[in-house]
Amino acid sequence: MAKVIILSGAGLSAQSGIDTFRDSGGLWEEYDVDKVCKAGCLVDNRAQTIEFYDKRRAELETKKPNYAHEVLADLKNKYKDDIAIITQNVDDLFEKAGLEKDKDVIHLHGFMTDVRCEKCGFTYNIGYKAIGYDRFDGKCPNCGGKKIRPHIVMFGEPAPHYELLNIELQNCELLVVIGTSGNVIGVNTMANFVEKSILNNLEPSDAIEEELFFFFLYKKATEAIEEIKEEIVTLLKKENSGLGGVLFTLGRGGSGKSEQLIATANNRPNETLFVSIERGKEELYSKRKLNKSVDVVNSITQMFENEKFKQYKTICIDNLESIGNDEYTTLLFKLDDILDQSIYLHISSHLKKDYKYHPRLNELSEILSKRENLEDL
């Protein structure tokens, strides 16, 4: 569960040109909300309800994420497990900013480009097309049913993803509320539950008690986002820095450096990645007695590309001098990212004949000495 929850509403997407429910003009002016947005509308007023959402879907195609979307997406990509992005919005602007629906973003009220079969419940994406004019010709690709509805939670309908919000709240240390009136979701209760909270709206809302928030920013999200980012990064760096550390094992050839790294890996086999440039996986498992639960890669590039990279608690690198020059540069460039993820590095390095350190070890040690809150192992 995440340490930071970012809960966004219509105010975040308004700066991208998407009209909010309470705006005058646009589609909301053309339709009676009670007839197209409430539970039962698909029974009592189906044609007009479908038409309304078809038009909203078509409008979405040209909309682009604004600066606030982009900053939040970058933060999520950097701190995957520490940030939960939860939105009341049904647009795809977070996805256009580089996040993945469901995996990176929880949409509480549905998703505009998705539709759902009322016969079998299958949900699928039709892009920005109107229902019936999409690539499926208005038929469910799962069962062939023709009764298709927008995958939107209407007012008065159950919202199953609220349970995901409640789960994330259990571990939340910082709640950031952006662009919501508080009329639909009880942000007061949420703010009272967490240790620290930030509110960003254009103006005060009668439904939100601002004294429950650590501070509030009454300005556009694009103008407030840098202050919000600073608070998020400060919290996460404070939480993570000092938890990572670096241990060097030094010695001449045949002194047992690799065996010490293997012992480290075997102590936490399911949480360790072993990087060996010179030895293959099978040799490490069979001849060197590395626990087969330890994941093995053979380059720094593979280390960073590993889909489980941010889940590891320990990374063993055997040995520093065997890494190619380009890969060594990559390691230096991304060193802070590794340690900010609370990862321990255990690195072996050769000693020269005169027992002097290798130049790479000197360089790496100097970089690490300048890092604040690094645990000295």
Active site residues: 109
In the three-class reduction of DSSP (H, G, I as helix; E, B as strand; rest coil), residue 355 is classed as coil
- Ordered alpha helix ranges (H), 180-220: 187-193
Burial track 312-332 (b if 16+ CB lie within 10 A, e otherwise): bebbbbbbbebbeeebbebbe
Cis-peptide, bond into residue 291, ω within 30° of zero: no
Q: Is 8 helix (H, G, I), strand (E, B) or coil?
A: strand
316 phi, psi to nearest 5 deg: -100, 130
Read out DSSP for 103-157? Answer: TTEEETTEEEEEEEETTT--EEE-TTPPTTSSTTTTS-TTT----EEEEE--BTS
Reduced to 3 states, what is the DSSP secondary structure of residue 167?
helix
- Rounded to whole angstroms, the Cα distance separating 357 from 94 reads 48
Of 170, 169, 176, 171, the closest CA to residue 229 belongs to 176
Segments in 61-101 forming alpha helices (H): 67-78, 93-96
